[in-house]
Structure 1
Amino acid sequence: MPRTVIDVSGLPTYAFGSRVTPWWGTFSFCLLEGTGFALGIGGYLYLAVTNKDWARDAIPLNLVWSSLFTLVLVVSALPNFLTRRAAMREDLRPVRLLLLVMSALGLLLIGLRIIEFTALPVRWRDNAYGSFVWLLLGLHGVHVLTDVADTLVLTVLMFTRHGRGKRFSDAEDNAFYWYFVVLSWLPLYAVLYWVPRL
Structure 2
Amino acid sequence: MKEKIALDVSHLPLHGEGMASLTWWGTCAFMLIEGTGFALSIAVYLYLMSLAPLWPIRAPAPDLLPGSILTLILLASLVPNILVGRWAKQKALRKVRLGLVIMSFAGIAPLIVRIYEFPALHVSWDDNAYGSITWLMLGLHTTHILTDLVDTLVLTALMFTRHSDNPRRYGDVADNGMYWNFVVATWVPLYLCLYWVPRL
Classify the TM-score, shorter chain.
over 0.9
Alignment correspondent of 1:197: 199
Aligned residue pair count: 198
2:180 maps to 1:174: no
Q: What whole-Å deviation, never above 9, does each CA across 1:111-150 have from its counterpart, x for those lacking one? A: 1112212333100000000001100000000000010010
Q: Name the SS for the 2:118 alignment partner.
A: helix
Alignment correspondent of 1:4: 4
Alignment correspondent of 2:150: 149
Change (3 A) 1:2 1:58: farther
Alignment correspondent of 1:96: 97
CA distance in 2, matches of 1:85, 1:15: 16
Sequence identity percentage = 52
Change (3 A) 1:4 1:96: same
Note the 1:43-122 alignment, pairs <5 A: 43-57=44-58, 59-122=60-123
Q: Name the SS for the 1:64 alignment partner.
A: helix
Alignment correspondent of 1:39: 40
How far 1:86 moved relative to its partner? 0.4
How far 1:54 moved relative to its partner? 3.5
Alignment correspondent of 2:124: 123
TM-score (normalizing by structure 1): 0.95
Q: Which amino acid aligns with 1:26?
A: T
Q: Name the SS for the 2:164 alignment partner.
A: coil
Please, what is the CA RMSD of the aligned residues? 1.3
Structure 1: any 5+ residue segments left out of the alignment? Answer: none
TM-score (normalizing by structure 2): 0.94
Q: Which amino acid aligns with 2:162?
A: R
Change (3 A) 1:169 1:48: same
CA distance in 2, matches of 1:59, 1:13: 57
Q: What whole-Å deviation, never above 9, does each CA across 1:62-91 have from its counterpart, x for those lacking one? A: 111110000000010111100001001111
- Find runs of 4+ consecutive structure 1 residues off by over 6 angstroms: none
CA distance in 2, matches of 1:132, 1:108: 24
